[in-house]
Amino acid sequence: MSGLPEGWVTTSVSDINNRKSKNIKPSDFPEEIFELYSVPIFPTGCPEFVQGKDIGSSKQIVNTGDLLLCKINPRINRVWTVGKYKNHRQIASSEWIVITQPNLNIDFLKSYFTESRFRELLCSDVTGVGGSLTRAQPKKVATYPVLVAPLNEQIRIANKLDSLLGKLQATQKRLDKIPSLLKRYRQSILAAAVSGELTKEWRRGKSYGLGTSMDDFDWSTFESGEELFRVPSSWSWTEFGTVIEIYNNKRIPLKLADRNKRSGKYPYYGAFGIIDDIDDFIFNGRFLLLAEDGKNLESRLRPISLIADGKFWVNNHAHVIQAKKHISLDYLMFFLNSPLAPIDQFLTGMDQVKLNKTSMIKIPIPIPPPKEQKQIVKRVEALFKLADQAEQHYLAAKQRTDKLTQSILAKAFRGELVPQDPNDEPASELLARIQAEKDK
């Protein structure tokens, strides 16, 4: 690489890696506690301590100071340093490429592997069909270039990065709390909407206008042997099936030749991928789609129902629903997505948990008068719009911090972040010692 700062050199991952691979089968030591570095636990920033009997597969033995570079789904920037020894053998899953080099500053090296140019290279040549199935290839990663600064400069760069990125990481941690706050905010809006709290003042104004008493002190409760939640007395409880028409049996199967036309032409709703020749169907109109997959319904990680409007594709992993007269389709969607909807009580199955049609129609739902339904929809949409605006500000702020992080890293590896010292030992001499140790 041309244009390197004075005293810097370019080498390869394999040239700096002194790793001597050694595996272990933890289940052979059932009572021993291991310090495990796994990919799923990476977001926490801390390894987990697990007994050998609870670890099913073979693992790599690692040591304090080893650098772990994740090869699975490399578009996610995961680089980890094995921490100080805590009286338990340290192991890592096979999804990590382990790099051992005690003669380089490990924080400098970690930052290099986090910088966007190396990440782009890591993602440029992978195996697998996409997403979590893609993997970087260790043999190719071993040939990738590594920039090495003089050791003293590595230390200065690492210290400066620690100071600058530490402040950015603190900002990012605060930003990372926003999605969960927004989710709770939306859930609280929906809970207030389907329990009558959101339109309490509207009902009072309406009651005063008619010269009648307020109904806020009289409540209606669904009678089913167990109390769900209270709603105003002007509302009525019923079963979901009494206010909807189900269009599951009116699906029009697609021919295999038509499948290729799906992509990009109309929205597609349902599970990912094409399963068989009768898996995809076409609809035209305004329908409510309710997820059938129990795992999604139980976790509530995302809305379990949505409205599709116009022409769209849908597979058989979602119920297609239309509202009867005087029932708002939007209100039904808000209820199903609210934390008060007792969906989990109506799931069936063990290995494959589902919300089948027979169970779905029995879900209890409170129905406000038609005018109040309109008020609920209007107010929820207005409040959700505020939440959407806040989310856009969050995404823009997160993007700026991400760009600033990469900008600082890029500056560091151009040799522009800290002053250079002509008295520093050139990196070429450091690499020569590393090579001599490897040869020995």
Q: Is residue 111 situated within a structural domain?
A: yes
Q: What is the pLDDT of residue 260?
A: 53
Q: Is residue 46 situated within a structural domain?
A: yes
Q: Is residue 115 situated within a structural domain?
A: yes
Q: Is residue 179 situated within a structural domain?
A: no
Clarify whether residues 144 and 20 are in a common domain. Answer: yes
Strands (DSSP E) found in 165-211: none
Q: Is residue 392 situated within a structural domain?
A: no
The per-residue pLDDT of the chain, averaged, comes to: 86
Is the per-residue pLDDT at 350 higher than 90? no
Q: Is residue 416 situated within a structural domain?
A: no
Domain that holds residue 120: 13-148
The answer to whether 108 and 131 have CB atoms below 8 angstroms apart is: no
Clarify whether residues 358 and 259 are in a common domain. Answer: yes
pLDDT tens-digit map of 431-440:
999 998 888 7
The answer to whether 331 and 368 have CB atoms below 8 angstroms apart is: yes
CA-nearest of 364, 254, 234 to 311 is 254
CA-nearest of 335, 331, 332 to 378 is 331
Is the per-residue pLDDT at 272 higher than 50? no
Look at residues 367, 382, 400 and tell me which one is the last residue of a structural domain: 367
Q: Is residue 319 situated within a structural domain?
A: yes
DSSP 74-132: TTS--EEE-----SS-EEE-TTEEEE--TTS-HHHHHHHHHSHHHHHHHHHSEESSSGG
Is the per-residue pLDDT at 351 higher than 50? yes
pLDDT tens-digit map of 57-97:
999 999 999 999 999 999 999 999 999 999 999 999 999 99
User: For residues 303 and 226, what is the distance between their CA atoms, to the nearest angstrom?
Assistant: 26
427: confidence class by pLDDT, cuts 50, 70, 90: very high
Is the per-residue pLDDT at 159 higher than 70? yes
Q: Which of 1-15, 162-176, 290-304 has the lowest mean pLDDT?
A: 290-304
In this structure, which amino acid lies at residue 128?
A: G
pLDDT tens-digit map of 4-25:
899 999 999 999 999 988 999 9
Clarify whether residues 140 and 267 are in a common domain. Answer: no
pLDDT winner (highest mean) among 43-52, 199-208, 279-288 = 43-52
Total count of domains within the chain: 2
Chain length of the chain: 440
What are the distances in angstroms from CA 4 to CA 1, 104, 146, 149, 289?
Answer: 7, 18, 12, 9, 57
Whole-prediction pTM value? 0.71
Look at residues 367, 387, 411 and tell me which one is the last residue of a structural domain: 367
pLDDT, average across residues 141-149: 96
Q: Are strands 318-323 and 305-315 parallel, antiparallel or unpaired?
A: unpaired
**In DSSP terms, which residues pair with 313 in a beta bridge?**
268, 282
Q: What is the CATH number of the domain that holds 119?
A: 3.90.220.20
Q: What is the pLDDT of residue 217?
A: 46
Helices (H) and strands (E) in the chain, counts: 13, 22
Q: Is residue 309 situated within a structural domain?
A: yes
pLDDT, average across residues 108-133: 89
Q: What is the token pair recorded at 58?
A: 């073979």
The answer to whether 50 and 78 have CB atoms below 8 angstroms apart is: no
Helix (H), strand (E) at residue 318: strand 318-323
Look at residues 321, 352, 367 and tell me which one is the last residue of a structural domain: 367
Q: What is the pLDDT of residue 96?
A: 97
Q: Are strands 268-269 and 305-315 parallel, antiparallel or unpaired?
A: parallel
Q: What is the token pair recorded at 422?
A: 């002509």
